[in-house]
Homo-oligomer: A and B are copies of this chain.
Amino acid sequence: MTTLAPETAAPARTPRRGPGRPRNEDIDAQVLAAVLELIDDKEEVTAARIVSRSGVSRAALYRRWPSLTTLVAAALDVGRYVPPPIPTDGNLRDAIMEAILGTPLEGDNAGYPEERFRQRIRLAMADRTLQKAYWASHVSRRRAPIVDALRAGIERGGFRAGLDPEACFDLIAGVFYYQLVVRGERMDEPQTMERCRAAVDVAWRGMAAEQ
């Protein structure tokens, strides 16, 4: 799962937009849906299978994604979103919980089923290149608004001086991953959420500025 390199170079084509030609976004969506189908079916993701499932040509794939790894990373992120910048005068704690869980805490997380999360971790552990690509292109972008808000809180004095906002984010996010990856719990179990809230409370107190 490294490159999408064709056996022979793809012929250069001038994109042409005819009346029946699907728009670019439609093609992207078709391809991403095909990749997710393969992942959800626990099939190995290959360029040939994507072409076959999506009906999109190999050449069109090459024009859109530089490698199979970046395409798989993009597919794994479908249904997840980058939270907007966090107003630092709002409830930062709730915003962090929400950003980590990917949807409002009251939501049913339907946009990102747990089984896909498990598949994502499985693929990442099998392929560090994919893991690093997904981190660089997706996870780190999704963290940024929260890390920025933590940094602002440290600079403005709500949190202790000298805190590392990246380490604080890892601490808080880590307790959620621990539930899913080590304990094998579901986030909709009340006692799991209760444990996470108790842990975030500890982290929050540890971050707070001394009075």
Task: Give the B-binding residues of A (Cβ under 8 A).
Answer: 42, 118-119, 121-122, 124-126, 128, 131-132, 135, 139, 163-164, 166-168, 170-171, 173-179, 181-184, 195-196, 198-199, 201-207
Would A202 and B198 count as touching, CB distance under 8 A?
no
Docked pose: A31 CA to B119 CA in angstroms? 29
Partner of A168, one of B126, B174, B177, B202: B202
Docked pose: A205 CA to B164 CA in angstroms? 14
Would A125 and B121 count as touching, CB distance under 8 A?
yes
Would A179 and B170 count as touching, CB distance under 8 A?
yes
Docked pose: A194 CA to B196 CA in angstroms? 24
Docked pose: A171 CA to B167 CA in angstroms? 12
Docked pose: A204 CA to B171 CA in angstroms? 11
Partner of A206, one of B42, B131, B206: B206
